[in-house]
């Protein structure tokens, strides 16, 4: 699968960007909903992203540990950057 360190970082980054963008789109859709709905979507998305990370690491279980660690770190960092940071200011409203 992924046999080099740069390939592990790039694959983790690509998967993290896709996961983060998908999560951002879903959260943005429910941003103006009731708190109960928004937080239930947030928690469900958290578990989906965690399951995606676990599945990816399971697929890499035969690779070297450094590749797995760098894959996971780049996945988590870019996922967080593309998901959480653009949403931190809340919805835009015209007043």
Distance of CA 81 to the CA centre of its chain: 9
For residue 82, name the pLDDT band (cuts at 50, 70, 90). confident
Q: Quote the tokens at residue 95.
A: 């007043």
Q: Does 28 reside within a domain?
A: yes
Kindly tell me if the per-residue pLDDT of 86 is higher than 80: no
The Cα–Cα gap between 72 and 95 comes to 42
The Cα–Cα gap between 87 and 21 comes to 11
Q: Does 91 reside within a domain?
A: no
Structurally, the chain folds into a number of domains equal to 1
Beta-strand ranges (E) seen in the chain are none
Q: Compute the average pLDDT of residues 63-85.
A: 88
What residue numbers bound the domain in which 49 lies?
5-84
Q: Does 92 reside within a domain?
A: no
Residues 33 and 22: beta-carbon distance below 8 Å: no
The 10s digit of each residue's pLDDT in 43-63 is 998 899 999 999 998 988 888
3-state helix, strand, coil in the chain (%, to 5): 75, 0, 25
Residues with Cβ within 8 Å of 83's Cβ and at least 6 positions away in sequence, in order, are 19, 20, 21, 23, 24, 27
């Amino acid at each position: 699968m992924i046999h080099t360190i740069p390939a592990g970082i790039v694959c983790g980054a690509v998967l993290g960007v896709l996961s983060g963008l998908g999560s951002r789109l879903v959260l943005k859709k429910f941003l103006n909903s009731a708190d109960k709905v928004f937080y239930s979507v947030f928690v469900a998305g958290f578990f989906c992203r965690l399951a995606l990370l676990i599945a990816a690491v399971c697929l890499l279980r035969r690779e070297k540990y450094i590749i797995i660690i760098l894959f996971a770190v780049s996945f988590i960092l870019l996922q967080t950057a593309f998901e959480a940071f653009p949403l931190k200011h809340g919805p835009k409203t015209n007043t």
